Structure 1
């Protein structure tokens, strides 16, 4: 079964090695033309805010899928989601969020389900199998 194809995806993880591994998995699966990586949720939110102010290019630049880590300094994944909910409707509708985390805490899984934009919860690292099963 072939994985779904996306125009662009975004990785948000404070661990650069995890970002690199996940980026390589996405490239190997050939599911996205563009991959944006952010090592902080704050910079990712700023990027999304700035892009959404440019309606001419936002459809092209906004990621289809955001792979979001939970446990990060300064702004964690849930704080990112709280900020994400304040973004434009166009941005919120275009970007689907997949929690990509090493957390196996059931409370994190349940908390992520409270956000309508979170479509899946996957444990790190990404695998060919998890990418093929992705349904967002």
Structure 2
């Protein structure tokens, strides 16, 4: 079981559904939700280093207000945390724009680009031990 999963997404219905699915299947001990990329970056920047919980998995939407997923990836890439390279970032979006898929490939932290809604096979892929 994964220890901590961050969901960065402003879609309340999706967040409710995916969080419930993760909890029902006991895929993660803890699920933390941020409504946009800025909230997540603020968590990493403003939380004292010794108190930061580094997620094992981040499920990241790209279309959000305040700071979108691309902005989050740019800022998160610049942060210096022990274990950051072990975080599996999965872009989860309803966008099928090929430019978004190519852009996700530009970020080494992104494991995979997945389309909403996430299905059972996607969950197996994301939460399977590597």
TM-score > 0.5, shorter chain as reference: yes
Q: Distance in 2 between matches of 1:110 and 1:78?
A: 12
Displacement of 1:66 in angstroms is 0.4
Work out whether residues 99 and 121 of structure 1, in 8 Å CA contact, stay in contact via their aligned partners in 2: yes
Work out whether residues 56 and 87 of structure 2, in 8 Å CA contact, stay in contact via their aligned partners in 1: yes
- Which position in structure 2 is the counterpart of 1:90? 82
Q: Is structure 2 residue 6 aligned with structure 1 residue 10?
A: yes
Q: Distance in 1 between matches of 2:114 and 2:92?
A: 5
Work out whether residues 92 and 115 of structure 2, in 8 Å CA contact, stay in contact via their aligned partners in 1: yes
- Which position in structure 2 is the counterpart of 1:31? 27
Q: Over aligned residues, Cα RMSD in angstroms?
A: 1.7
Work out whether residues 91 and 113 of structure 2, in 8 Å CA contact, stay in contact via their aligned partners in 1: yes
Displacement of 1:51 in angstroms is 4.2
Aligned pairs, number: 128
- Which position in structure 2 is the counterpart of 1:40? 36
Q: Distance in 1 between matches of 2:104 and 2:40?
A: 18
Q: Is structure 2 residue 120 aligned with structure 1 residue 124?
A: no
Work out whether residues 11 and 68 of structure 1, in 8 Å CA contact, stay in contact via their aligned partners in 2: yes
Structure 2 gap ranges (5+): none
TM-score (norm 2): 0.89
Work out whether residues 29 and 128 of structure 1, in 8 Å CA contact, stay in contact via their aligned partners in 2: no
Work out whether residues 29 and 131 of structure 1, in 8 Å CA contact, stay in contact via their aligned partners in 2: no
Work out whether residues 25 and 128 of structure 1, in 8 Å CA contact, stay in contact via their aligned partners in 2: no
More contact order relative to length (CA 8 Å, sep ≥ 6): 1
The aligned runs of 1:44-59 (5 Å cut-off) are 44-51=40-47, 53-54=49-50, 57-58=51-52
